Amino acid sequence: MAEPAHAFEVPVGEDGELVVPADELARHGVGPGDTVRIQPLRNPRRVSRLGAHRRPLGFTQEHLDEIRREMGQGLGEDLTR
């Protein structure tokens, strides 16, 4: 998203306070009695969720091998008819 030419950034303090110096407002043509719109810009943190909240499924490697064997049984038999 393109930022408007008259936009400028002001960080929010640790206490949540937003202070915009009067000279900064004046540089952008904002004076007493004017209305200023504040639009937050949030940069979402990209965090990998791979492996997040992993828990054991209760399957052993033997269980998984057995399931794979069962899934493979009969494959291709319909092609030989």
pLDDT tens, position by position, 47-81: 777 766 777 778 788 888 888 888 877 766 666 65
State the greatest distance between any 2 C-alpha atoms of the chain, in Å, as a whole number.
88
**Cα distance between residue 64 and residue 70, in whole Å:** 10
What pTM did the predictor assign?
Answer: 0.39
| Contact predicate 63/71, CB 8 Å | no
More confident residue, 25 or 78: 25
**Cα distance between residue 4 and residue 43, in whole Å:** 18
| Contact predicate 70/64, CB 8 Å | no
Q: Is the pLDDT of residue 1 over 50?
A: no
* Residue 78, φ and ψ in degrees, nearest 5: -70, -15
